[in-house]
Chain A
Amino acid sequence: KQEVTQIPAALSVPEGENLVLNCSFTDSAIYNLQWFRQDPGKGLTSLLLIQSSQREQTSGRLNASLDKSSGRSTLYIAASQPGDSATYLCAVKSNTGKLIFGQGTTLQVKP
């Protein structure tokens, strides 16, 4: 049974700092891995999607990496801003199409 874990559960950093969010999964047989952002009272917004054959994806100040063999993914946020404050969720898509989410990391970026 696939399990997804995110560490840390919460993170508070000063504005401008670079930071890394971690995601681990137990079964390496995944179709893809996706990072989402969730703002309070809102739905999920997709940030980056990495196919199982890829190693990383970049969008602006965000970079996500994937190491299937070790069951790990990281989301790197460069030069953090207060507007980056949100909960970040990673999810793995199984070969049957099911999305399995981690519990999320709540990020606060202080001005």
Chain B
Amino acid sequence: EAGVAQSPRYKIIEKRQSVAFWCNPISGHATLYWYQQILGQGPKLLIQFQNNGVVDDSQLPKDRFSAERLKGVDSTLKIQPAKLEDSAVYLCASSPDVSYNEQFFGPGTRLTVL
């Protein structure tokens, strides 16, 4: 069974530029999560989808971050415009359902904002 796929793996941009990350969850998984992990910290949930609906986006900085999961499968996370403090690893995870015990994580996208 293929795991959670993310691309790109690395991205370097200047501040005020825009960037997008892509996530393909495990086939059949209804729940998808985006996390931000700043160096030296644990991951922080940005947004949680159940199929193509948003369950929790309380910690998403909505003035610059947006995310979508239009067909309930792949998801895209966008930052526009980027700030220096957005430098982090962005992790995508999926699970069969919101009540399932475990989440399965992708390798992450490391973003550096200069």
Contact = CB atoms under 8 A, between A and B. Distances in A.
A104 B101 contact: no
B81 to A, nearest CB: 26
Contacts of B54: none
Given A43-B91, A43-B106, A44-B91, A98 B56 contact: yes
A51 B4 CA distance: 24
Taking residues whose C-beta sits less than 8 angstroms from the other chain, chain B's interface range is 20 to 34
B45 A99 contact: yes
B38 to A, nearest CB: 10
A98 B45 contact: yes
Contacts of B93: 44
A54 to B, nearest CB: 12
Contacts of B99: 97
Interface in B27-46: 33, 40-45
Nearest to A102: B42
Nearest to B100: A97
